[in-house]
């Protein structure tokens, strides 16, 4: 196939007819010359702006960690920055400063793919400029292969890490915190039938690339909503799911800055990792003006393909009924209630690794703690253990009374009544 003719090539003569374009072409021409010095060929611009905008921070991480070979061929403008020092919010050991990789004003070449990237402003005679990501490759197929490989490398890199996406005033910010504390499925205190249902659903989703869904002809996507009063183990359940499943996990923190753009960006990132888990905690906090975009995104076949979405809320009465009342958004809602006597007894016995309490005392504690949450049982054990350690007497009865009084002072919502509905 003959290469199409270029009507306006990198030629100084075009300044007479297209002066503004000539400014851009001058920069582009220098970059092409540099690329040909490194690897001669038919270099061309490829538009991957939307994709690389979402993925470039992950790409920089791979470069910093030595996972992807690259070369800095040149800096573009001498009067622009030639390096970057930035804050590292999660690093407490080097003054929160770090020399960071950047595409700004640097022509970065990836030899294994014969692809180059840069981010730079184009200055024009109209006295304005705008920053752009530029991708250069010898063919559009080469750029496509680069992005496919990047997606797979990213997915593998995130298999053992939890990625947190936080909506901020400046857009979606990413935080990687490495492996979360391991939570065994045995540590999940939940009614056996519900627990089995949830874990069967998650296991089948990721087994053999979702073969179950293909065999039974159902869409390869699923969403569950976990609701219940605070402290009863929703987060523990989610950690046990994410910690025992071979899949990338992304936590999305909704804030007052969540908007249509951040919704699209989050789903754009997660869909590239599919099959993957997206956890949306406190989903009831979704801003009102963003809900329609969020619901439409949940309806989208492509944006949901291969995604297992887990939403959590402490306040299900605030949930938009449209999340549940339409099939394909959240398929099931599971209540994570306060533990019954059997579970309370089981949990207290598990906590008591020092055998502070006799079997009769544990049974008595299980009776007296009706209505207390899992987190309150933790507090009961902690304070009782301290008393036992220092005074030789746990004083558990007094501490239970204090916790029960604390509960009575807290106004209970109607949805905690098992006989009431919660709006969907």
pLDDT tens digits, one per residue of 77-122: 998 888 888 776 554 444 578 888 899 999 999 999 999 999 988 7
Phi, psi angle pair for 399, to nearest 5°: -65, -35
N-term to C-term CA, the chain: 59
And the tokens for 27? Answer: 């920069």
Residue 21's pLDDT band, with cuts at 50, 70 and 90, is: confident
- Per the prediction, the chain carries an average pLDDT of 84
The backbone torsions φ and ψ at residue 216, rounded to the nearest 5 degrees and listed phi first, read: -100, 5
Min mean pLDDT across 161-175, 206-220, 370-384 is at 161-175
Does residue 208 have a pLDDT over 80? yes
Better pLDDT: 285 or 410: 285
Residue % of the chain over a pLDDT of 90? 30
What residue ranges do the domains of the chain occupy?
12-157, 173-335, 341-409
Nearest in space to 377 (alpha carbons), one of 354, 415, 355, 404: 404
Mean pLDDT of 324-335: 75
Strand ranges across the sheet with 106-110: 44-46, 131-137, 115-121, 106-110, 71-75
Top-level CATH class of 341-409? Answer: mainly alpha
Q: Is the pLDDT of residue 416 over 50?
A: no
Q: How confident is the model at residue 419 (pLDDT cuts 50, 70, 90)?
A: very low
**By the 8 A CB rule, do 337 and 237 touch?**
no
pLDDT at 417: 47
pLDDT in tens, 158-203: 776 678 888 888 788 876 555 555 678 888 888 888 889 989 999 9
pLDDT of residue 423: 36
How many other CB atoms are found less than 10 A from the CB of residue 160?
11
Strand order in the sheet with 249-253: 171-176, 162-168, 249-253, 276-281, 307-313, 222-227, 332-335
* Higher per-residue pLDDT: 266 or 129: 266
Among the residue ranges 13-22, 73-82, 409-418, the one predicted with the least confidence is 409-418
Q: Under CATH, what is the fold of the domain 173-335?
A: Rossmann fold (3.40.50)
pTM assigned to the model? 0.72
> What confidence score (pLDDT) does residue 137 get?
96
- Whole-number Å distance between alpha carbons of 377 and 132: 54
Determine the Cα–Cα distance for residues 64 and 100; give it in Å rounded to an integer: 8
């Amino acid at each position: 196939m003959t290469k199409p003719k270029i009507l306006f090539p990198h030629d100084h003569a075009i300044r007479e007819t297209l002066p503004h374009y000539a400014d851009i072409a001058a920069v582009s021409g220098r970059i092409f010359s540099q690329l040909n010095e490194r690897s001669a060929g038919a270099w061309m611009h490829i538009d991957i702006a939307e994709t690389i905008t979402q993925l470039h921070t992950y790409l920089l991480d791979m470069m910093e960690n030595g996972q992807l070979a690259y070369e800095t061929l040149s800096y573009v403008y001498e009067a622009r920055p030639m390096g970057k020092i930035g804050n590292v919010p999660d690093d407490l050991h080097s003054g929160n400063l770090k020399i960071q990789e950047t595409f700004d004003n640097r022509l970065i070449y990836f030899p294994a793919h014969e692809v180059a990237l840069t981010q730079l402003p184009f200055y024009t005679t109209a006295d304005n400029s705008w920053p752009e990501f530029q991708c250069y490759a010898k063919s559009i197929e080469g750029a496509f292969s680069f992005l496919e490989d990047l997606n797979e490398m990213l997915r593998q890199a995130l298999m053992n890490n939890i990625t947190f996406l936080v909506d901020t005033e400046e857009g979606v910010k990413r935080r990687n915190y490495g492996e979360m504390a391991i939570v065994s499925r045995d540590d999940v205190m939940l009614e056996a039938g519900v627990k089995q249902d949830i874990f069967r659903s998650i296991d089948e989703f990721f087994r053999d690339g979702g073969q179950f869904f293909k065999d039974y002809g159902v869409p390869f996507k699923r969403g569950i909503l976990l609701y219940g009063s605070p402290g009863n183990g929703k987060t523990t359940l989610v950690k046990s799911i994410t910690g025992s499943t071979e899949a990338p996990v992304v936590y999305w923190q909704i804030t007052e800055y969540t908007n249509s753009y951040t919704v699209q960006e989050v789903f754009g990132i997660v869909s590239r990792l599919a099959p993957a888990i997206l956890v949306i905690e406190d989903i009831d906090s979704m801003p009102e003006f963003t809900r329609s975009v969020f619901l439409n995104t949940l309806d989208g076949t492509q944006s949901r393909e291969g995604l297992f979405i887990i939403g959590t809320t402490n306040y299900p009465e605030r949930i938009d009924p449209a999340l549940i009342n339409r099939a394909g958004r959240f398929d099931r809602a599971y209540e994570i209630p306060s533990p019954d006597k059997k579970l309370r007894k089981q949990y207290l016995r598990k906590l008591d690794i020092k055998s502070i309490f006799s079997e009769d005392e544990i049974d008595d504690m299980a009776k007296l703690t009706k209505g207390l949450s899992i987190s309150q049982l933790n507090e009961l054990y902690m304070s009782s253990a301290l008393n036992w350690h220092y005074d030789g007497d746990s004083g558990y009865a007094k501490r239970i009374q204090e916790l029960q009084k604390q509960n009575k002072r807290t106004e209970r919502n109607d949805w905690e009544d098992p006989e009431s509905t919660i709006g969907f």
